[in-house]
Every structure is written in C-alpha cells, then in structure tokens.
Structure 1
Amino acid sequence: MNLRPATAEDAAALADLGRRSFVVKFGHMYTPEDLANFLADSHSEAKVAKEIADPGMRIMLAVEEDRLLGYCKMVLDCGWPEHARGGAVIELKQLYTDPEATGRGIGASLMDWALDLARERAADEVQLSVWSGNEGAQKFYARYGFGKVADIHFMVGEQRDEEFLFARMM
C-alpha cells in the first residue's frame, strides 16, 4: 500500500468509494430518498472533482497497485469555529476505507498523514465530526488523542443525526 495525493483523474474512484463506504456503514439509517439525495450531493464525481481542485483542501489516497483502498480529506480551515480552542485549526473532513479492506492499517496510515499535515501547516488543533453511534470510529480517534468537545448534528436529507465534535490539540 502506498499513499499519494489525489489528482483530477481520481474523482470517479473517490466518489464511488465514498458512496460505497457510506452506504455500507450508514445506509440502513435513512429513507431511500434521503440517502439518494445525500449521496448525489455529497459523493458525486463533480463534488469530489471540486474538492480535489480546491486549494483549501488536501486529499490523500491509500492505493495498492490500481486499487483505491481509502482516503482522507483535510480542510485547511476550521470547521466549527464556535468550538475552536486553538488559533490555527484545521478539519479532518473524511477518513474512509474500502469496506472490503478494513483491518489492514489503512486508517492508521491516513491518520498519520493527517497529523503530519497538521504539524506541517502549524495547526494547533484538529477537529472532526463522528456519528454518536459509531463507537468503533470514536475508539480509533481516541487512540490518536482526539476527544469529544461538543455535541453537534449532521443532516442527511430530512434526518438529523446526532454527532460528536472530536478534537485534538497539537
């Protein structure tokens, strides 16, 4: 497995992996209409292409030969300024792995990259949101020094999900 930055040619594969990962983990929670609308908006190839081109975002891929195993999106700005404790805060937007490739250290490699990027950018805090019922992800983030700092929410169509804002001071 290697890590490399996303390029414009990766937009379709990233959108596909984002949709598949979201559906496997959370798809059962939503009405078909809410899920379809969310995926069309949040995990479309056009949206991913804009993110790849956005100078305020960095996207790192975990690849094995030609197969995309996972990715991490970092926003070089504060996602929740009302909860910021640092002065230079960045956001870990998504850390997704292929549902068929979990348990191979992909998430750990991408998290190490994300924290290295935060240090390179002289960030003093990293924020991320995690669904309140996703205990596995919460434990993963806790291993890297993240802890809950606020209750927030996330909309998928008409459904409001209760989320936790996790953060780590650098």
Structure 2
Amino acid sequence: MTVSNTPTPFTIHPARSPHDVAATAALFRAYHEWLNIDLSFQSFAAELASLPGKYAPSAGGEILLARVDDEVVGCIALRDVSGVVADYTSRNGSGSGRRSKIAEVKRLYTLPAARGLGVGNALVTAVMDVARRRGYDEVRLDTLPRMPAAIALYKRAGFEEVDKYYDTDLEGTIFMGCVLDKEG
C-alpha cells in the first residue's frame, strides 16, 4: 500500500524477508529503548529472538512495516490473543461465555524523523484491515498514560477503554479495544 497524500510518500507492507525481520527487530529494540521500561515480564528478549514468532501469519498474526524510499521508518504488529483473553476473563469471572476471535496490536513505533507524516495512523489503519481480513471480531491493545499521542490515535481509530485482559507489572496500564465491523 502506498500512501501519497502526505508531503513524504511512504509505503506499508508485510514483513516477509529476512531483511524485513531484521528491520523489525531493530525497530522493536528502538521502541523498547524509547519506552525505557523493563519488558522482561512480556518475554521481550525471547520475542526478539523468535521473530516473527507469535506475529507470524501462520499464527494469526502480522508485522507491517512502513518505508520511506528504502528506509524502514515504522512498524506495528498483530497477534492472536483469543485464548489469553478467554483464560483471563474466565479466571476473573468477567467472561461472557462467548468465545470471540481477538487480536492484539503491539509495538507501534515510528522513528522520530518520520513522525508527523501520518505513518502511525496509516499503520493502525492497515493493521485493522489485516485483522478484519483474518476474521477477528475485536482488536485490543495496551498503552500507558504517558503516551497521549498514541492514545489519541487509537481513539480516532475507534478504540475505547476496556477491562484489563491480562496481568501486567506496569502500573497505570490502559487497556483499549475496538470491535471490528466486517465492512471496514
């Protein structure tokens, strides 16, 4: 997908090649560094070592990369969390008894030089389209209060705050979800 209604055109495509996976790992590391948070509770080192891992299309996931010319400037990932959500809600008595197909958005990150170009918005739109095509009923994510631009972006994309759907060590985590209409 080429997005050219911006001053600097960029493309978004799925990560498929070894070069794409290496670029993804570099962006995930930059995201982790920018966050300045210990992500060991999410097994972040193992996630990097196994890319695409839980984000592989065969696992119901996807990694999308944004490029300006030949430079990768942003990423977003999607993974299936249907079982995680069902297990958490049944343990905590908040489940509806209905098993939904739920994806989770992870690792949205744009290099500082590419911010303001619309890359983040385009990545969120593209990953939501992927989730629809894969038959997900809902997409969830977590974010932190110190990320107001991301929260605003997610709200514009239709996300609303939802109940916690997994245990986290990060105080103040905001959980968000968006029920997908099948039309887009």
When the two structures are superposed, what TM-score results if normalisation uses the length of structure 2? 0.72
Task: Measure, in 1, the Cα distance between the counterparts of 2:65 and 2:124.
Answer: 11
Matches within 5 A, 1:2-151: 2-7=11-16, 8-24=18-34, 26-27=35-36, 30=37, 34=38, 41=45, 44=48, 46-51=49-54, 53=56, 55-56=58-59, 57-78=61-82, 79-81=84-86, 82=89, 87-151=100-164
**What whole-Å deviation, never above 9, does each CA across 1:106-125 have from its counterpart, x for those lacking one?**
01111111111122122221
Contact 1:130 1:165 in 2 (8 A): yes
| Structure 1 ranges of 4+ moved more than 3 A | 34-40, 49-54, 83-86, 151-155
The percent of aligned pairs where both chains have the same amino acid is: 26
Q: Which runs of 5+ in 1 are unaligned?
A: none
**What whole-Å deviation, never above 9, does each CA across 1:39-89 have from its counterpart, x for those lacking one?**
971663x23243565611211111122211111111134253327777222
SS in 2 for 1:80: helix
Contact 2:55 2:79 in 1 (8 A): no
Displacement after TM superposition at 1:17 (Å) = 1.4
Bigger helix share: 1
The one-letter amino acid of 1:61's match is L
Question: Could you say if the C-alpha distance between residues 165 and 40 of structure 1 is closer, same or farther in structure 2, counting changes exceeding 3 Å?
Answer: closer
Task: Measure, in 2, the Cα distance between the counterparts of 1:84 and 1:54.
Answer: 27
Most deviating of 114-123 and 86-95: 86-95
Alignment correspondent of 2:176:
166
When the two structures are superposed, what TM-score results if normalisation uses the length of structure 1? 0.77
Q: Which runs of 5+ in 2 are unaligned?
A: 1-9
Question: Could you say if the C-alpha distance between residues 69 and 37 of structure 1 is closer, same or farther in structure 2, counting changes exceeding 3 Å?
Answer: same
Contact 2:28 2:107 in 1 (8 A): no
Contact 1:62 1:106 in 2 (8 A): yes
Bigger strand share: 1
